[in-house]
Each structure stands twice: as C-alpha cells, then as structure tokens.
C-alpha cells in the first residue's frame, strides 16, 4: 500500500502556484484572496475525492471519508496559510499529503472502521492575525471565539469580516470534537533530519516555550553635549541583556535555545541617546525544568544590566506553554509506519508550535516530520526532496490506516 508520488507532486505544483512568488516561494496570508483561491482548490479536490466537506465558525475545513462503523475519526491536518515570502512546504505539504492518503485509499477502494478526515486550520502562522494557531486554539476551547473574531490585522481589518468576505464563515460550531487520533505531517524547520540523512522524523512532542517582554527606561538626551559619565542609555543596557540571554543558553546547555527577536528603540534617531527600548525574549527547551532554571537567570541578567547602566526596567513573563508530549499510542503507530516504509527515520522533538499542540489537548495526537534543506523555513528557499516527501506521505498513510483499522 503506497501513495502515488507523481499525483502528489502534481498537486504540490498546482497548489504552490496560488500565491507563488517570483523566487519560488509563497505569499498566501490567512483569509487573503489567494488563501480563498487555495481553499477553493482544496475543497474542490476534497469533493472530487468523495469527502463530505464542512466548514466551521472559524473557517476550519473538514473533509470526511466515512468509516464502516459510527466511530470517531482519524484526523489528518495542517494549514494552507503562509508567512509573507514564505515557502511552498510549510503547512500545505501536510494537507496535500493527507489528500494523497485519501486518494490512495479511494484507489484501492479500501474501507476503514473509523472515518478518515482531512482538516485544514485557519491562520496557523499568525502572520496576519495574532495569536498563531488561533483556529485550533478556538477548537480546543483555549481561545474564546469572540476574541478570535475580533483579532485585527495591521490594517485594522477583523478576522470575522475577512472570513465572511471570502466565504468561509461556516455554520458548524467550532468546539472540541472527539477523534480517534490527530496526525500532522510537517516540515522539520530545523537541521537534524538532514544532518543525519533521515527521511522521516517521529515526533515525540513539542518543546516548552516561555515568552517575556522587557521595557528599559533610560534618559533620552542629546548625543553631542552629554558626556559619557552622566548617560543612562537604554540601548546599552539592552545590548547587555541580548548578550546575557545568549549566555543563559550557553550556561544551561543541552537543548535550550534563547532568542531576542524583537527590539524597538526610542526615539531611534542618529543624534539622541536612546531613552526607551522594548525587547522580546523567547526561550525553549523540551524540559520545563530547564525553563524554570533559565527564567531566574534572565531576571538576574536584566537586573545586573540595568544596575550597570542606571536604567529602570519592567520585565513580564507573559506566556508559557509546557512541554506537550504526544500520545504514546500515536507515536508508536507512526514509528511502526516509518519502519514499514523502509525509510531512515529517527525520533525527534518539535521546536516550533503547530496545530497539533492544541489538538494534543483534546485527544491522542502525533506528528511526522520530513527534512528541511539547510534547516531553513519561513523563507522562499524552503525545500524538501520528493524522495523524503514520499517516505513521509507513506508513513502518514500507514499510520492512518493502522489507527483507522481496515474494515
């Protein structure tokens, strides 16, 4: 039992043409006109494959292939929105591999005990509407529907108005549903599979994440007449914090990764000493205990940097998600499937958030990774060789079949 590699490649080409950039990437922001075109194509393909298609209040699309018995479905899902000048693999590859699994089952006229359902989640990236994974968050009961509807893009346009405009404000309630298993195939977005020559990653869970926000208040003054000895430069303190954040990862070691990704300097002009700086701190580790160690180290690094420069600060640790382990039964099914394909595989952990994270709160979930060339993603250079994709899709097929059961 195998997927059809040429048919999958053809679907990737057709879907990848919608919102294609000149340099081979993709810009298909959530609920944009191109997102609508992509969704319309997916819905057409789902109907042609005989799926019963429904759309919920968050624009999530479900296509069900009925099972022989009235049982909860095996869900295969991901997203079709992208970041600006992103790649053709993040998200839509999982959806297209899910579709190919359905087509392969149809071709064999194979009947399963549990239904097999393809799911497409709205606005996974968070590039247009925040937070990311907003629609699976509503589905899991973690984000109120009203809050999601009122999320606004940078032009002030509300998510609910865009859902309506593109025709994807569906009637089905977006509430927790029972499922037999949730499977998500996704690109790794890191270097480990490629480095070790593996085609498939059997994902054990998603790392714990902590986000903090720091505001430094110094004294804004003229860059000329103000001697160095009386300065309180918020950016100098910030630079110290950036180096301190890197040092925390070095000291704790292991899998901990720490990043200052956003820094806003005020007034941000050539001839003024920066009076105020805000910056973000993102720290991730598979172990919650490592983050429990890292956070007080961050507190200390900030305090010391601010004392040295004589600036005041406010530090908020405002978001924390624990290590999300995937269900052993699902991880086991994926591992057996990977072995059966004959591909080189390894166990791996996800450093990025995915819809699977929210789905894991509702029921048994698991993920399949395929390699990212040079570990790169969220860029036009994003690439996964077709050989690896084929192994990944076959792993998805066999795992779905295992969990859905042959009728």
Residue 94 CB, nearest distance to Zn ion (Å)?
8
Q: Does 90 interact with Zn ion (rule: CB under 5 A)?
A: yes
Q: Does 81 interact with Zn ion (rule: CB under 5 A)?
A: no
Strands 61-65 and 208-217: unpaired
Neighbours of 155 (CB within 10 A): 6
| DSSP characters over 114-125 | S-EEEEEES--S
CB proximity list for 58: less than 8 A, separation 6 or greater: 122, 134, 135, 138, 139, 145, 148, 163, 170, 174
Residue 149 CB, nearest distance to Zn ion (Å)?
23
Distance CA 314, CA 195 (A): 41
Distance CA 16, CA 112 (A): 31
Distance CA 130, CA 134 (A): 7
Neighbours of 189 (CB within 10 A): 20
Residue 91 CB, nearest distance to Zn ion (Å)?
4
Distance CA 75, CA 67 (A): 12
Burial class (CB within 10 angstroms; exposed 0-12, middle 13-18, buried 19+) of 177: middle
Distance CA 269, CA 353 (A): 36
Residue 186 CB, nearest distance to Zn ion (Å)?
6
**Cβ nearer to Zn ion, comparing 90 with 309:** 90
Stretch that binds Zn ion, among 91-99, 203-211, 285-293, 327-335 (CB under 5 A): 91-99
**Cβ nearer to Zn ion, comparing 252 with 365:** 365
**Cβ nearer to Zn ion, comparing 90 with 380:** 90
Contacts 24+ apart (CB under 8 A), 34-41: 35/80, 35/81, 35/166, 36/166, 36/167, 36/168, 38/80, 38/92, 39/80, 39/120, 39/166, 39/168, 41/14, 41/15
**Cβ nearer to Zn ion, comparing 375 with 405:** 375
Residue 270 CB, nearest distance to Zn ion (Å)?
39
Q: Does 190 interact with Zn ion (rule: CB under 5 A)?
A: no
Residue 42 CB, nearest distance to Zn ion (Å)?
15
How many amino acids of this chain bind Zn ion (CB under 5 A)?
Answer: 2
Residue 79 CB, nearest distance to Zn ion (Å)?
6
Residue 396 CB, nearest distance to Zn ion (Å)?
15
Stretch that binds Zn ion, among 84-92, 155-163, 262-270, 357-365 (CB under 5 A): 84-92
**Cβ nearer to Zn ion, comparing 103 with 186:** 186
**Cβ nearer to Zn ion, comparing 91 with 98:** 91
**Cβ nearer to Zn ion, comparing 35 with 90:** 90
Angle at 348 between CA 177 and CA 282, to 5 degrees: 80
Q: Show contacts with Zn ion in window 97-116 (CB under 5 A).
A: none
Stretch that binds Zn ion, among 34-42, 83-91, 98-106, 221-229 (CB under 5 A): 83-91
> What do you get for the CA distance between the two ends of the chain, in Å?
15
Residue 71 CB, nearest distance to Zn ion (Å)?
29
Residue 140 CB, nearest distance to Zn ion (Å)?
17
**Cβ nearer to Zn ion, comparing 30 with 166:** 30
Which residue has 């999601």 as its token pair? 148
**Cβ nearer to Zn ion, comparing 112 with 136:** 136
Residue in 25, 91, 190, 205 binding Zn ion, rule: CB under 5 A: 91
Q: Does 355 interact with Zn ion (rule: CB under 5 A)?
A: no
Distance CA 88, CA 28 (A): 10
Stretch that binds Zn ion, among 88-96, 207-215, 220-228, 244-252 (CB under 5 A): 88-96
**Cβ nearer to Zn ion, comparing 90 with 402:** 90
Q: Does 366 interact with Zn ion (rule: CB under 5 A)?
A: no
Distance CA 202, CA 109 (A): 28
Distance CA 36, CA 341 (A): 35
Q: Read off the DSSP letter of residue 158.
A: B
- Closest residue to Zn ion in the complex (CB): 91
Beta bridge partners of 63: 53, 118
Give the footprint of Zn ion on this chain (CB under 5 A): 90-91
């Amino acid at each position: 039992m195998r997927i059809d590699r040429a048919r999958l490649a053809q679907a990737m080409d057709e879907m990848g043409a919608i919102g294609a950039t000149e340099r081979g990437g993709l810009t298909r922001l959530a609920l944009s006109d191109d997102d609508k075109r992509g969704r319309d194509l997916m819905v057409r393909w789902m109907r042609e494959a005989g799926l019963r298609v429904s759309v919920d209040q968050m624009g999530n699309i479900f296509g069900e292939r009925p099972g022989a018995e009235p049982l909860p479905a095996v869900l295969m899902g991901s997203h079709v929105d992208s970041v600006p000048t992103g790649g053709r693999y993040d998200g839509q590859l999982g959806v297209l591999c899910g579709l190919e699994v359905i087509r392969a089952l149809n071709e064999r006229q194979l009947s399963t005990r549990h239904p097999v359902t393809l799911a497409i989640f709205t606005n996974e990236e968070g590039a247009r509407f925040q937070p990311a994974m907003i629609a699976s968050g509503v589905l899991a009961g973690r984000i109120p529907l009203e809050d999601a509807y009122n999320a606004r893009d940078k032009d002030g346009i509300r998510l609910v108005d865009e859902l309506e405009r593109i025709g994807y404000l569906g009637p089905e309630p977006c509430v927790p549903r029972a499922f037999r298993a949730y499977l998500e195939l996704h690109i790794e977005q890191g270097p480990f599979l490629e480095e070790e020559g593996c085609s498939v990653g059997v994902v054990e869970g998603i790392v714990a994440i902590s986000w903090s926000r720091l505001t430094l208040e110094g004294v804004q003054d003229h860059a000329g007449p103000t001697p160095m000895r009386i300065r309180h430069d918020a950016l100098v303190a910030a630079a110290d914090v950036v180096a301190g954040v890197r040092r925390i990862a070095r000291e704790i070691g292991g899998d901990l990764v720490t990043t200052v990704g956003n820094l806003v300097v005020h007034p941000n002009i050539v001839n003024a000493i920066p009076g105020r700086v805000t910056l973000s701190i993102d720290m991730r580790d598979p172990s919650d205990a490592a983050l429990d160690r890292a956070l007080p180290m961050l507190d200390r690094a900030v305090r010391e940097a601010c004392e040295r420069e004589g600036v005041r600060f406010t530090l908020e640790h405002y978001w924390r998600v624990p290590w999300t382990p995937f269900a052993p039964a699902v991880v086991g099914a994926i591992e057996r499937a990977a072995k059966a394909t004959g591909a080189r595989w390894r166990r791996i952990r996800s450093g990025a958030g995915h819809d699977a994270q929210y789905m894991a709160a509702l029921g048994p979930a698991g993920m399949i990774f395929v390699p990212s060339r040079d570990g790169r993603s969220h860029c036009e250079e994003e690439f996964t060789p077709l050989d690896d994709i084929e192994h990944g899709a076959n792993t998805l097929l066999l795992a779905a079949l295992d969990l859905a059961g042959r009728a």
